[in-house]
Chain A
Amino acid sequence: MNNADLQISTYVISIMARDRVGIVADVSKNISELGGNITDIRQRVLCGYFTMILLISFPAGITQAAILTKLAEGSESDLDIQVKPVLEKVSLPANNYPENTYVLTVTGSDQIGFVAHVSKFCKENQINILDLSTTSKADQYIMILFIDLTKAEDIDLIRVRLNQFSMKTGFRVSLQHYNIFRAVNEIDLPIV
């Protein structure tokens, strides 16, 4: 590690709460008062519950405990907060997905174990899930997964296994390269 790395420490912070006005304002105010720099944020509200995950660089010497105490300050004490130091060197936010990013959509009737089935399939095939959301449409439960196939075996084999998975579970699946979605939905063409 060089000196510059020693000067700062990076933490990942997750916040969960019943949604209300002002959570982001409260949290970011406290972070800035500690001298923290927000590198990246993901925030979602699901069914009235707020969740946020932040990547923050603090000046050297700011401890995990100090961050926890400060974040609880001034807010309505309704936040579930987790703070973890980031051990590896952090590269800048990955706004771009890897080249081998595919979009897997899985559609079927809503049932217990739906997500478990799909994620088990991904795990068994060395497929890393980069982003995941679900939606429902006319009684059908739909999972949209951004997956990285860099570590997986070749695409044709994955397709064969996906077909078997589809036959076994009755779920309808589709596996398309992310570039197709970008090409037909965004202004820029995603290739040279």
Chain B
Amino acid sequence: MIQPDEFLETVDMIQKENLDVRTVTMGINLLDCHRESVKDTCNAIQNKIKKYAAHLVETCDNVSSEYSIKVVNKRIAVTPIANVGAGFDASGFVQIAHALDDAASSVGVDLLGGFSADVANGTSGGDLALIASIPQALTETKKVCSSINVGTTRYGINMDAVVLLGKTVKALADASAAQGGFAAAKFVVFTNQPGDNPFMAGAIHGMDQHEVVINVGVSGPGVIARALERKIAKSGAQNLGLQDLAEVIKHTAFRVTRCGELIGRQVANALKIPFGVVDLSLAPTPNVGDSVGEILQILGVDSVGAPGSTAILAMLNDAVKKGGVFASQSVGGLSGAFIPVCEDKILAEAVRDGSLTIEKLEAMTSVCSVGLDMIAIPGSVDAATISAVIADEMAIGIINGKTTAVRLIPVPGKEAGDFIAFGGLFGESAIMPIRNTGKSSRFCNFGGKIPAPIHSLRN
């Protein structure tokens, strides 16, 4: 029997602490949409998306109203488009991006991910054409997100692709200079990219997934932060060890995950399509009180980035998984805490105050998901330096057998310490200084690949 206190605590979680479901993302396989012409392919893509996702938003809203739990974002992830459009040139891929954008608008979702390619062990013609189209495609569309997987623990890192994508990031920012380089915020480079991640910009519908599926991203860090504050206020900081606080995180993650699974399964049931996974990731938003950085402060570092930050993040990430994995029948996606600078108010403030550097962020990404995320850097940083930053982050991923990603925005015309606001969920931040620029060209010029790590040989 649930006790009155538990009822009231649950009500508080929903009403005061914004317990919600961060995203319901429908994955749709588009492999069967390739036709002779780009135009016919675009039509087939639009028809298929509309067929499956026509009632996605309405269904989420209905379940949301029945349960009084907000579904913040409704999204779509599709088969990596390089596989669907292989054979077309870059202008063909731009047209496909427009078709995806129109389909996303017509069904009313917030974003659509999957303008993507997997080049972990080599780059095909279709992959190259897609990559060439990315700057124009993302500048001319509103809802389309793009991701490229450049490495896996099994195959190593495709450095030729990393070098190319450093230039792509620059081109994206330059093409959207009037919006502060915003197009780069819709593009992310991955290693060990999962095919069932519901979060943007890196959501894809992997080649090994269902025909169509519903994946869910759980509520944000705010609920965990409030639970920790309650515990500390009740028991007194002097009476608590970190293990006690890890336990609070674990219990709260259980509740948060349950809420996500309940809502996600109801949506999947109503649409009569399979339910995939719950992604346990704590995804911050720029809203006050919805910050992973704030959790680090509550757990004892006065400034985010101060020594101790990595240890706390490791504990947070681990406790979230322990609570979540028992709560859900199927956990997947990225399932770790995100530290996207622009999207997290406290992290953005730490960058402004100089306490959080990109080097510390890189260290922190080795113990959480997903990587160097939503970091605004000076527009003057050269492409080779960006590629080298990507390579460093990818190395953390392939060696540790985990997903890592890089989403940098080289803001045209801005220098370290300046300020940029992208608005909405994409947030705002001071420009992060990048030290040692222009010193990695020789490394990048080698190109080729970084071989698979020894532990790729597991058979």
Query: Which A residues are within 8 Å of any B CB, using their own CB?
Result: 103, 105, 133, 135, 137, 142, 144, 155-156, 159, 174-177, 179-186, 189-192
Contact = CB atoms under 8 A, between A and B. Distances in A.
B266 A176 contact: no
Interface stretch (B1-9, B50-58, B332-340, B378-386): B1-9
25 contacts: A105-B8, A105-B11, A135-B8, A137-B8, A144-B7, A156-B65, A175-B68, A176-B10, A176-B67, A176-B68, A177-B67, A179-B262, A180-B68, A180-B69, A181-B10, A182-B2, A185-B6, A186-B2, A189-B261, A189-B262, A189-B329, A190-B262, A191-B266, A191-B269, A192-B269
Tell me which of B69, B258, B259, B266 has the highest count of chain A C-beta atoms within 10 A of its own C-beta.
Answer: B258
B259 A155 contact: no
Contacts of B259: 180, 183-184
Contacts of B329: 189
A180 B10 contact: yes
Given A155-B65, A191-B265, A176 B11 contact: yes
Contacts of B15: 174
B65 to A, nearest CB: 6
B262 A181 contact: no
B32 interface: no
Given A144-B4, A175-B68, A177-B67, A184 B10 contact: yes
B14 A180 contact: yes
Nearest to B269: A192
B4 A189 contact: no
Main secondary structure of the interface of A (DSSP, over half): mixed
A184 B65 contact: no
Nearest to A142: B8
Given A189-B262, A191-B262, A192-B265, A174 B11 contact: yes
B66 interface: yes
Contacts of A142: 4, 8
- 3 A-B pairs with least C-beta separation: A184-B255, A183-B258, A183-B262
A180 B6 contact: no
A144 B448 CA distance: 66
Contacts of B265: 189, 191-192
For chain B, give the interface size range: 20 to 34
A79 to B, nearest CB: 26
Contacts of B255: 184-185
- Residue of B11, B69, B262 contacting most chain A CB atoms (<10 Å): B11
Counting chain B CB atoms within 10 Å of each CB, which of A175, A182, A183 scores highest? A183
A166 to B, nearest CB: 12
Nearest to A135: B4
Contacts, number: 71
A62 to B, nearest CB: 32
Contacts of B261: 183, 189
Given A174-B11, A186-B2, 14 more contacts: A142-B8, A155-B66, A159-B68, A175-B68, A176-B10, A176-B67, A177-B68, A179-B262, A180-B10, A180-B14, A180-B67, A180-B68, A180-B69, A181-B6
B128 to A, nearest CB: 45
Interface string B261-288: 1100110010000000000000000000
A144 B65 CA distance: 20
Nearest to A133: B4
A98 B411 CA distance: 56
A59 to B, nearest CB: 33
Given A155-B66, A183-B259, A185-B2, A103 B14 contact: no
A156 B64 CA distance: 11
Nearest to A175: B68
A174 B14 CA distance: 9
B4 A184 contact: no
Nearest to B3: A185
Nearest to A137: B8
A37 B15 CA distance: 45
Interface string B241-263: 00000000000001100110110
A79 B10 CA distance: 39
A96 to B, nearest CB: 13
A181 B7 CA distance: 7
Interface string B1-32: 01010111011011100000000000000000
Nearest to B15: A174
Given A189-B262, A191-B266, A177 B2 contact: no
Contacts of B67: 176-177, 179-180
Given A105-B8, A142-B8, A180 B262 contact: yes
A182 B262 CA distance: 10
Contacts of A185: 2, 6, 10, 255
A135 B7 CA distance: 11
Contacts of B2: 181-182, 185-186
Contacts of A184: 10, 13, 254-255, 258-259
